[in-house]
Amino acid sequence: MPDAVALLTEAAALAEAALEARLPAATVEPARLHAAMRYAIFAGGKRLRPALVLLACRAVGGADAAAAPGLAAVELLHTYTLVHDDLPAMDDDDLRRGRPTCHKAFDEATAILAGDALQTAAFAAAAELGAEAVLVLARDTGSLGVVGGQQDDLDAEGKPPDAALLERIHRRKTAALIRASCELGALAGRATPAQRAALAAYGEALGLAFQIADDVLDVTATAATLGKTPGKDAAQGKLTYVAVHGLDAARAEGARQARLAQESLVPFGGRGAALAELARFVVERSS
């Protein structure tokens, strides 16, 4: 039986190497920009998305080395969205992964540019997997994906609870990139179309489970375990699953989506065990 923490640790080590190989050194000019990009990237995140690329690739029999560009691509993409979301004009957050956010540690202009260049680097990495990987990543992270979800999220602040809008935000802002991570792993491992579709369905459900768990943690966790400011969503009047449906319903829906994710893995037999374990972990984690 695989262990989620061990899987994440293994994937994180491969992700660090894949990222290190694709980012200029902090001494390369413009040094301030490269330092900011590295500050944001090498901050000890969970590396969940790279783990999904790796495990999806393994689930279809692909080699770890084939997945490496995908590991880098999804983490570069994810990190750029965090850097921009934290900006004063957006969520205005001072703390991220237990450290000052990028614009606090550097300055606002540098953080905007570091985020921009991280997105560029993400697509360069995806292109190593081929044009189809770029199209998948772009589809799920642009105005109809992650960026669109963030815009909806900002526009929804302080508005009455809206279950349909909430689900759209969760699907776009969080589930889309998690699904794309699984699809990039599928592409890296040369999955069949049916395998790729199954992994996409897994990713979509896992992404919803993950975001609901995040909403739950925002009201139940402490800053020490969370590594960012808890209670922030409620204070900002954010639309969250807990705000719309309550804490108990949130926990139940998170568990249901995790089960749906696991059911998508049936075609993979034992090769899907690691991804199934990640789904369990995502809803039971405490940070």
**CB-wise, 119 or 195, nearer to a second copy?**
119
Closest separation between CB of residue 38 and a second copy, Å? 10
Answer positive or negative: Cα dihedral of 198, 127, 24, 104.
Answer: negative
**CB-wise, 196 or 285, nearer to a second copy?**
196
Closest separation between CB of residue 143 and a second copy, Å? 4
**CB-wise, 134 or 166, nearer to a second copy?**
134
Distance CA 56, CA 53 (A): 5
Q: Are 136 and 187 in contact (CB under 8 A)?
A: yes
Closest separation between CB of residue 127 and a second copy, Å? 4
Residues 4-33 that bind a second copy (CB under 8 A): 24, 28-30, 32-33
Q: Among 93-101, 122-130, 227-235, 252-260, which window interacts with a second copy (CB under 8 A)?
A: 122-130
Q: What angle do CA 262, 204, 184 make, to 5 degrees?
A: 100
Fill in the DSSP letter of residue 170. Answer: I
Helix (H) or strand (E) segment spanning residue 53: helix 48-59
Distance CA 45, CA 47 (A): 5
Closest separation between CB of residue 76 and a second copy, Å? 10
Instruction: For residue 173, give Cα distances in angstroms to 98, 165, 179, 277.
Output: 22, 12, 11, 23
Residues 29-88 that bind a second copy (CB under 8 A): 29-30, 32-34, 37, 80-81, 84, 87
Q: Among 43-51, 110-118, 200-208, 265-273, which window interacts with a second copy (CB under 8 A)?
A: 110-118
Contact residue for a second copy among 66, 90, 105, 197 (CB under 8 A): 90
Q: Are 210 and 243 in contact (CB under 8 A)?
A: no
Per the listing, tokens 């899987």 go with: 7
Q: Are 32 and 105 in contact (CB under 8 A)?
A: no
Q: Where does this chain bind a second copy (CB under 8 A)?
A: 24, 28-30, 32-34, 37, 80-81, 84, 87, 89-90, 107-110, 112-113, 115-117, 119-121, 123-124, 126-128, 130-132, 134-135, 138-139, 141-145, 147-148, 150-152, 154-155, 168
